[in-house]
């Protein structure tokens, strides 16, 4: 899969940024896309100002990493400004924006909770938050489904990527079951099975159009009575990537502010992609 749009990666010289840059470099090589590493010298008056700003060795380190990874069209830039709006502006020409899950000092402590969520809420392209993959050769992309347009966009992203990587896509629909009713014989009533059937039908209907549009991709469906955040975290242990929509329905709604975002961004066992 070739791409003319550049891949943009936020870099600050931290080990997490190194991981993000290596992931972005591999993606640039796979797509044949140009890669731009951006170092932001934060000029704000926030307490992060001296934490994000790196020295000029950062530029040399970024260039070395991209060269070692075999990126043919690579550039490194420094920009003064506020971190989030600067990256959002630069991302207008990007196919994806890649960032590490943490950074230097105090910024590192709040990166996932603040900067990354703001990028995911406002960036004009998908945002990839690179976390270490528990199983690097899983051959599986996990995508969260809830029937919303945003989860549909996430599924399309996952399938399009799988066409290029040859990976399997697992569509996961999770929901909070609540108390599990058990009758006197220790068996679940038929209503529980009927509810599961309803969820599986909703999942099948949600992926039907995308499945038809990508017939060469193996797409499997998993409906599970587990809260969606936990369902995706569990599934991520056997995945190369987890893809979620930025807004959804039910327990996926408010993804950028609620428990799902916290679970996935802080606990996933592989890189996370947030698609608007």
Q: Which long-range contacts (CB under 8 A, 24 or more apart) does 42-48 make?
A: 42/81, 42/82, 42/83, 43/80, 43/81, 43/82, 44/82, 44/83, 47/106, 48/83, 48/105, 48/106, 48/107, 48/110
| Mean local confidence (pLDDT), 212-237 | 94
Does 213 score more than 90 pLDDT? yes
Contact 233, 260 (CB under 8 A): no
pLDDT band at 118 (very low <50, low <70, confident <90, very high): confident
Give the pLDDT confidence score for residue 135 in this predicted structure: 87
Summarize pLDDT for 49-104 with one digit per residue, the tens: 444 444 568 999 999 999 999 999 999 999 999 889 999 999 999 999 999 987 65
Q: Please state which of the ranges 138-152, 193-207, 214-228 shows the lowest mean pLDDT.
A: 193-207
Summarize pLDDT for 163-196 with one digit per residue, the tens: 999 999 999 999 877 665 565 665 655 555 667 7
The overall average pLDDT reported for the chain is 83
Question: pTM for this structure?
Answer: 0.85
| Mean local confidence (pLDDT), 102-123 | 64
Give the pLDDT confidence score for residue 49 in this predicted structure: 43
Strands, E assignment, the chain: 6-10, 35-42, 74-81, 94-100, 127-130, 140-144, 168-174, 219-224, 241-245, 272-275
């Amino acid at each position: 899969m070739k791409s003319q749009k550049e891949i943009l990666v936020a870099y600050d010289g931290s080990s997490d940024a190194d991981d993000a840059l290596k992931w972005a470099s591999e993606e640039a090589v796979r797509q044949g896309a140009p890669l731009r590493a951006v170092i932001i010298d934060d000029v704000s008056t926030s307490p992060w100002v001296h934490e994000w700003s790196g020295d000029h060795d950062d530029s040399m380190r970024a260039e070395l990493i991209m060269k070692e990874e075999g990126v043919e069209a690579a550039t490194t830039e420094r920009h003064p400004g506020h971190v989030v709006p600067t990256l959002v502006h630069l991302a207008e020409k990007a196919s994806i924006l890649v960032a590490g899950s943490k950074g230097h000092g105090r910024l590192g402590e709040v990166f996932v909770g603040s900067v990354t969520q703001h990028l995911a809420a406002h960036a004009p392209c998908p945002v990839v938050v690179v976390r270490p993959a528990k199983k690097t050769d899983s051959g599986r992309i996990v995508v969260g489904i809830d029937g919303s347009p945003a989860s549909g966009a996430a599924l399309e992203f996952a399938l399009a990527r799988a066409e290029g990587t040859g990976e399997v896509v697992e569509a996961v629909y999770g929901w909070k079951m609540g108390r599990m009713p058990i009758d006197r014989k220790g068996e679940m009533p038929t209503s529980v099975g009927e509810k599961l059937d309803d969820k599986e039908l909703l999942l099948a209907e949600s992926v039907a159009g995308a499945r038809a549009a990508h017939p060469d991709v193996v797409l499997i469906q998993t409906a599970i009575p587990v809260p969606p955040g936990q369902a995706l975290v569990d599934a991520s242990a056997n995945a190369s990537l987890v893809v979620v929509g930025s807004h959804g329905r039910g327990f996926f709604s408010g993804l950028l502010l609620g428990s799902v975002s916290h679970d996935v961004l802080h606990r996933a066992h592989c890189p996370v992609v947030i698609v608007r």
